[in-house]
Amino acid sequence: MITLEGKTALVTGGAQGLGRAIAKTLAQAGASVCVLDLPDVLSRVELPKGWHRLPLDLTAPDVETNLLDGLAELGALDILIANAGRVPPWRRIEALDMEEWDAAFTLNVRAVALCLKCATPCLRLSRGAVVLMASINGYKAHPDQALYTTTKHAVLGLARSAAQDLGRYGVRVNALAPGPVMTDALRGRIEARAAKGGTSMEQAIAELSAETALGRLVTEEDVANAACFLASPLAAGITGTCLPIEAGLR
């Protein structure tokens, strides 16, 4: 059983979706949880009692100062889950939108690096653990997904480099690589494609499930449990690795 009693965890993008599932699992293991998310998102969601909130836009010009202030107010940090990110629209190379490219890199890569930078002094003191949210697109490629794939390749490079840099302080850095996860966001994308004449929700899920060894899509809880494991003492000897969570995607 994983126990995180006495640990403090910061989860970026933790107000909803995968981030919230991870925050919930960490809290159930005994950690004190702080959720970092957009101010407008945190203003409209209800968080469980005892959770802390840090309303920040990780792409804002003054975010570094505000993040350092938030970490100082938190007081201690044992676990950083850098989950915040976006899935940009699929485009072929000749149709790339470079403003969209810059925006995706700002959140998916630059913000992750910034969180690592700002959290490192606290993590050195606690000999803490970091989990970065990558994707199967971090080690595979798919058509029409150059932007998302490139950002997730960058996250894997960051995880491996940070693991080498921070290992001397006893800080572990790993990454998760989920495959298709049955989230509200995935449902929304399937529904949008179906509305334009694409595959129906039921057929799309069946086709995605058939591509896995387990015959199902992974759930938010599957990803959250893996994040909790990598953040815990049970993974004390693991750093610089990327753990696929994709139900045996073929």
For residue 185, pLDDT beyond 90: no
For the domain made up of 8-181+219-245, the CATH class stated in words is: alpha beta
Task: Show me where the domains of the chain are located.
Answer: 8-181+219-245, 182-217
List the catalytic residues.
148
Rounded mean pLDDT, 200-228? 93
pLDDT of residue 184: 78
Q: Could you give the 3-state DSSP secondary structure of residue 75?
A: coil
pLDDT band at 195 (very low <50, low <70, confident <90, very high): confident
pLDDT band at 188 (very low <50, low <70, confident <90, very high): confident
pLDDT of residue 18: 96
Cβ atoms of 144 and 90 within 8 Å: the answer is yes
Other residues' Cβ atoms within 10 Å of the Cβ of residue 16 = 18
CA 140 to CA 153: how far, in whole Å?
Answer: 9
Closest alpha carbon to 101 in 145, 61, 132, 140: 145
Other residues' Cβ atoms within 10 Å of the Cβ of residue 49 = 5
For residue 248, pLDDT beyond 90: yes
pTM for the model: 0.95
pLDDT tens digits for range 11-68: 999 999 999 999 999 999 999 999 999 999 999 999 999 999 999 999 999 999 999 9
Segment holding 79, helix H or strand E:
strand 79-82
pLDDT band at 200 (very low <50, low <70, confident <90, very high): confident
Radius of gyration of the chain from Cα atoms? 18
Q: Could you give the 3-state DSSP secondary structure of residue 53?
A: strand
- How far is the CA of 218 from the CAs of 53, 109, 112, 167, 189, in angstroms? 28, 24, 24, 31, 17
pLDDT tens digits for range 109-168: 999 999 999 999 999 999 999 999 999 998 888 899 999 999 999 999 999 999 999 999
pLDDT band at 197 (very low <50, low <70, confident <90, very high): confident
pLDDT of residue 192: 82
